Amino acid sequence: MSNSRKELLRMSQKLGSSSLVSPQASALAQPSMLEHGDALKSRIPPLDIILYAIKGILYPTPIYEQIPGLIRLLTMAEFHRLRAINIASNALSIQSYYQDNPDPSVMLLSDETEGYFKAFVDTGSSAEWRAMFMKLLSICCAIDVLQVWFHDSDTDFWLRWNEYFAVLDPLAEKPAKLSHIFHYALSTHDIDQLRAAASHCVGLLEHAEDEQLLYALSSQSYEKVLQTEELQERQHLPKMDAPFQKVVESYLATVHGVVEYVTGTLKDEQQ
């Protein structure tokens, strides 16, 4: 491994997983400002297109080079879910108001629809699906960072690292400066999951310091790297395997179900 990469690892170890940011990369990355989150969410593509694109990346064989795109697509699917939950929550607030203040001109939700909306909005249930989204996101970020580490330059590595993990920096100028669309509206728990992914990456990189091994891996695709016996014996690299695909399918099925029910039901009940 080059001296520069060893130095980067030493620096990351000193900083700790909550502040793994290269000053040089911070200057180069020029994080975009996502101060208008609502406007961003209003411009996302239709959910059906997003689902189709995700399937194209995962099947029949996962395309590891498309992980940056997969991260953005999953984030847009999550935006759809959050928007549907917000619509359902607003509908329940209106329902509650007019139950206490009846108005013949206002049609209330049916008992069945009200029950479903309450289930969707339920804090515990929504938190579980948010945690699943962050788990998928964290795995994708880890895979992509490792791919860049194995095959690209130090600058490319730090640019990608900052794109995903700069939000963990406690010395960040201000919360509004975000470097990726999935950083929008992150909770404390979300950041903890992302920090765990960053820590896992550092642990894997520490085990990849064998210069001969790294040289052998640098000419292989990430899929081939995953099949390398030396690495399989020494560490567990994240991958888009069948269990990962199953979690993605479960998450997307829930997103699609919630969005279709909320938008479809309100449209039907307004007619």
> What's this model's pTM, rounded to 2 decimal places?
0.79
Domain count, the chain: 1
Domain-embedded: residue 94:
yes
Mean per-residue pLDDT over the chain, rounded = 77
Domain-embedded: residue 86:
yes
Domain-embedded: residue 19:
no
Cα 36–chain centre separation: 19
Distance CA 224, CA 72 (A): 25
Confirm if 166 and 24 have CB atoms less than 8 A apart.
Answer: no
CA nearest neighbour of 4 among 30, 22, 26, 29: 22
Read off the pLDDT of residues 129-173 as tens digits, 9 standing for 90 and up.
Answer: 999 999 999 999 999 988 888 777 778 888 888 889 877 765 555
* Residue 185: pLDDT band with limits 50, 70, 90: confident
Helices (H), the chain: 3-15, 23-29, 37-42, 47-58, 67-100, 111-121, 123-151, 154-165, 188-206, 211-218, 222-226, 229-234, 242-270
Phi/psi of residue 86, nearest 5 degrees:
-65, -40
Distance CA 233, CA 244 (A): 21
In three-state secondary structure terms, 16 is: coil
164's tokens: 């995903």
pLDDT(270) > 60: no
What residue type is 53 in one-letter code?
A
Distance CA 109, CA 119 (A): 14
In angstroms, what is the C-alpha Rg of the chain?
22
Domain-embedded: residue 215:
yes
Domain-embedded: residue 54:
yes
Q: What is the pLDDT of residue 176?
A: 43
Confirm if 122 and 116 have CB atoms less than 8 A apart.
Answer: no
Q: What is the pLDDT of residue 9?
A: 55
Q: Where does residue 235 fall: left (phi above 0), alpha (psi -120 to 50 degrees), or beta otherwise?
A: beta
Confirm if 192 and 198 have CB atoms less than 8 A apart.
Answer: no
Phi/psi of residue 177, nearest 5 degrees:
-85, 100
Report the percentage of the chain scoring pLDDT > 90.
35
Residue 220 DSSP one-character state: S
Q: What is the pLDDT of residue 188?
A: 86
Which of 42-51, 185-194, 204-213, 232-241 is predicted least confidently?
204-213
Domain-embedded: residue 14:
no
* Residue 31: pLDDT band with limits 50, 70, 90: very low
pLDDT(40) > 60: no
Mean pLDDT score, 254-268: 87
Read off the pLDDT of residues 84-132 as tens digits, 9 standing for 90 and up.
Answer: 999 999 999 999 999 999 898 888 888 999 999 999 888 778 889 999 9
User: In Å, what is the CA distance from 45 to each residue of 49, 79, 245?
Assistant: 7, 10, 22
Q: Which residues of 97-121 are buried (b: 16+ CB within 10 A; e: fewer)?
A: eeeeeeeeeeebbeeebbebbeebb
Distance CA 267, CA 19 (A): 47
What residue type is 153 in one-letter code?
S
Domain, as residue range, for 77: 37-270
Domain-embedded: residue 167:
yes
Residue 170 DSSP one-character state: T
Read off the pLDDT of residues 1-21 as tens digits, 9 standing for 90 and up.
Answer: 455 455 555 545 544 443 444
Domain-embedded: residue 1:
no
